[in-house]
Chains A and B, each alone.
Chain A
Amino acid sequence: MASVRPTLRSFLPFAVGAPLLWALQQITPPDYNIILIAAGVNIVLAVSLNVVNGFTGQFSLGHAGFMAVGAYTAAKISVALTGLDLPFVSTAVSDQIGFAIALLASMVTAALAGILVGMPSLRLRGDYLAIVTLGFGEIIRSVIENMKFLGQATGLSGLPARTNLVWVGVSAIATVVMARRLAVSTQGRALFAIREDEVAAEAMGVDTTGYKVRAFVISAAYAGLAGALISHAILLATPRMFTFIRSIEVVVMVVLGGLGSITGSILAAFVLTIALELLREFQSFRMVAYAILLIVLMLTRPQGIFGHREIWDLPFVRRLLGGRLVPAAAGPAPAAPTQIRDDSTAGPKGTA
C-alpha cells in the first residue's frame, strides 16, 4: 500500500491540471484557442529538446524529424480508428480513446526513430552531432516525402479534429513533469555529469553513451507527441511542417530560455509563440525581428534568460519568496554556512 501511494501522487499534476484546462477550453474563443494550442505544443517541444541540449549538453538539431514521425503515425492511426465505435461508450468518447492510442503510438514510433538516429550519431560531439542530427531530420522528412502511402509531398489531409487544450495541456504537463522529475533524480544528475565533463562522468561510472541515447530517445518520444498534437490541430500532416527551420525554432526557444532551465524553456516557448503570432501581419519581417531578438539576447545574456537555473533560483525571485528556500538544483546558495537546512525529506519529490 505504502509503496503505491507516491506513485498515485505522481499523477497529481494531471488531476489538478486537466479540469482547469477543460474550463479554459470552454471559455477561449477559437482564434485564441489555436494560438494557445501552438504555444502548448511548443512547450512540449522546447522542454523535451532541453533534455538533450540543456541537461545532457548534446546539440541536437533534428527535433522536427521526430515530430514528423509522430505526426504521421498519429494521423494514420486516428484516421483508422475514427468511426470505430467502441462498445459501451459514445462515439465522441470512443474517438478520444482512439486519439489517446494514436498519441501513445506516436511517442513509441518517434522513440524508435530516436534509437535509430541516436545510436550512430551520439558518438559524435558538438558541431558534428548538430550536423548529423540535422541531416537525419532531413532524411526522415525526405523519406516521408517519397512514400506513397504517406501522401508524398502533399501529405495527409482531412485529419479528424481531435487536439484541444486539454490534450495539449496534459501533454505539456507530462513533458514538464518528466523533465523536472528527471532533473532532480539520479538519472538526471547522470545527464548533467555528461554535460559538465564527459571523461569524468565516464570515470565515475556513468555509462555516457547509454545515457546520451536514453536522453535522446526520451526527447524524441515527446517530439513525436508534439507532432501528433499539432497535426490534429491544423488537421494536416505535410513534410513542409517539419523542415529543419522548425527544429531551429525549437532550439532558439531552448537557448533563449536558458540551456538546462525548464522554466526558461516554458517561458521562451510561450512568449515566442505569442510574439510570432502578434507579428504575423508584418509577414517576412517576422523572421528579421526574430533574428534581431536572438542577436540582442546572445550579446547581452549569452546563457539565456535563466541560464541553467530555474525561475525560483534567481536572486530576485528568491527574495520574493521571502527566504523560503526551494531546494536549489544549481543555484549558488547565498552564504548560508552551516545552517541546518533539512530539505532532505523534500529532496526527491520536487515537482508539484
Chain B
Amino acid sequence: MSANPLELKSVTMRFGGLKALSEFSLQMAPGELVGLIGPNGAGKTTAFNAITGVYTPTEGDVTVAGERVNGLRPHAICVKGVARTFQNIRLFRQLTALDNVRIACHARAASGFFDALFLTARYAEDEVHIRARAEEYLEIMGLSHRRDEISRNLPYGEQRRLEIARALATGPKVLCLDEPAAGMNAAEKVELMQLIRSIRDRFGIAILVIEHDMRVVMGVSERMLVLDHGVTIAHDKPEQIRRDPKVIEAYLGDAYLEEKHIAVPVQGGGETA
C-alpha cells in the first residue's frame, strides 16, 4: 500500500575528490528501528545530512513516504516527515523547554503574521493547539516539570530528551537520532534505550540511530548497517553484525572485545613468550 517512510537508493555524496558516501541504500518500514554504525569518518553523519537535506546527494535518490526529496531545503524535508537530533546538542538555548518544543510545532501552524497582528480566531486556535501539543510531548519525555526552565540550564540528559521531544513535535514519519547516548552515563543509557523503544511503540515511526556506544545500538536496533570509508560493509541483524569479521576488523576491534570481556588472545600470548 503506502510507500516506506524512508528510502535511499544508491545515494552517493562526493566532496571534490572525496567520496564520503558511496552507493548507500536503505529502506525503512514504518516502526522499524535501524542502527547505523561505523568508525569515525565513515560517513554516518554524511548519510544523515543527505537524508535531512543539509547536503544534496551527488547521485541517487532520497524518498520520504514515496516523495523524492533530493535538493529540498532541510525545513521542507522536515515538513515531509523527517526529524532529527544533533550529535552536539543544538537546542534553542536561551528559550524555555516549552518554547523549544513549540517552535517544532510551527511548521504545521496555519496562522500567519497578520493573524497574530489582528488576533484572529485562527491565530488563537493555533496557539492553543500548539501549546497543548507541546505540553503533550514534554509530558511523554518526562519534562513537564521543566516546562518554564531555560533549556541551557537543564542537565545534560534532559537536554538530550528535550531534543527528542522537539524532534517528535514536528510530527515525523522518520526520526533520525545522531548519537543520542553521547555523554550519558550507564544508567541514562539504559533509560534511553527504553525510551527509544517506547517512542517507536507509541508513535509507530521509523527510527534511525547513529551511535558509537555498542551496547546501546546493539540493544536497540533490529537491523544494522555498518559503514566504513563511505561504503556499506554489512547490513544485517545485530547478532550477525557482532560476528561479521569485516565489521569486527573495521570497527568493533579491540574496544568491543574489551567491553564484552572477551579474553584478548594476543595479550596472553605476549606473557608466555
- B-binding residues in A (CB < 8 A): 2-3, 6-7, 9-10, 177-178, 181-182, 185-190, 192-193, 196-197, 199-209, 214, 218, 308, 328-330, 332-333, 336-338, 344, 347-349
Q: Which residue of A lies closest to B114 (CB)?
A: A187
> At the interface, is chain B mostly helix, strand, loop or mixed?
helix
- A205:B107 contact, CB within 8 angstroms: yes
Partner of B170, one of A3, A205, A347: A205
For A181, the chain B residues whose CB sits under 8 A away are 116-117, 119
A-B contact pairs, 20 of them (CB 8 A): A7-B119, A7-B120, A10-B119, A186-B130, A187-B111, A190-B106, A193-B95, A196-B94, A197-B90, A199-B54, A200-B90, A202-B73, A203-B86, A204-B103, A204-B106, A207-B73, A330-B94, A332-B149, A336-B148, A347-B127
For B, the interface residue count at a CB cutoff of 8 angstroms equals 53
Q: State whether the Cβ of B173 lies closer than 8 Å to any Cβ in chain A.
A: no
Determine whether B109 belongs to the interface, using a CB cutoff of 8 Å to chain A: yes
- B170 and A186 within 8 A (CB): no
Query: Is B73 a contact partner of A9 (Cβ separation < 8 A)?
Result: no
B260 to chain A, nearest CB (A): 35
Q: Does B99 contact A (CB under 8 A)?
A: yes
Which of B35-43, B63-71, B74-82 binds A?
B74-82
Contact across chains for B124 and A348 when beta carbons are under 8 A apart: yes
User: Which residues of chain A come closer than 8 Å to B108, judged between CB atoms?
Assistant: 205
B145 touches A10 (CB 8 A): no
With A197-B93, A200-B90 in contact, is A186–B120 under 8 Å at CB? Answer: no
Asked if A208 and B94 sit within 8 Å, CB to CB, the answer is no
User: Considering only CB atoms, which chain B residue lies closest to A193 in the complex?
Assistant: B103
B109-132 Cβ-contact flags toward A at 8 Å (1 or 0): 101110111111101101110110
On chain A, the residues within 8 Å of B105 by CB distance are 186
Shortest CB-to-CB span from B118 to chain A, Å, is 5
What total count of A-B pairs have CB within 8 Å? 148
Chain B residues near A328: list those with CB within 8 A.
Answer: 96, 148
Alpha-carbon distance A156/B28, docked complex (angstroms):
67
How far apart are B182's CB and chain A's nearest CB, in angstroms? 16
With a cutoff of 8 Å between Cβ atoms, the chain A residues found around residue B84 in the complex are 203
> Quick check: B117 and A186 within 8 Å, CB to CB?
no
B107 with A189: CB separation less than 8 A:
no
Determine which of B54, B79, B91 lies in contact with A205 in the assembled complex, contact meaning CB atoms within 8 Å.
B79
Q: Cα distance A185–B76 when bound, in Å?
A: 21
* Contact present for B95 and A186 (CB under 8 Å): no
A139–B32 Cα distance when bound, in Å, is: 56
Query: What residue in chain B is nearest A209 (Cβ atoms)?
Result: B73
The CA-CA distance from A183 to B19 in the complex, in Å, is 44
Known contacts A182-B113, A218-B113; decide if A196 and B92 are in contact (CB<8 Å).
yes
**Distance (whole angstroms) from the CB of B210 to the closest CB of chain A:** 15
Interface centre among A9, A199, A203 (most CB of B within 10 A): A203
Q: In the bound complex, what is the Cα–Cα distance between A202 and B49 (angstroms)?
A: 12
CA distance A82 to B121 in the complex (A): 39
Inter-subunit contact A182/B148 (CB<8 Å): no
| Binary A-proximity of B226-247 (CB < 8 A = 1, otherwise 0) | 0000000000000000000000
Across the interface, A189 reaches (CB within 8 A) one of B78, B106, B149, namely B106
Interface flags, B197-233, vs A, CB<8A=1, else 0: 0000000000000000000000000000000000000
Chain B residues within 8 Å of A2, by CB: 121
Given the known interface contacts A192-B95, A204-B170, A205-B79, the answer about A187 and B116 at a Cβ–Cβ threshold of 8 Å is yes
Q: Assess whether A200 is in contact with B149, with CB atoms less than 8 Å apart.
A: no
B178 CB, min distance to chain A CBs, angstroms: 11
Contact check, B103 vs A201: say whether CB atoms are below 8 A apart: yes
Q: Which residues of A contact B128 (CB under 8 A)?
A: 344, 347-348
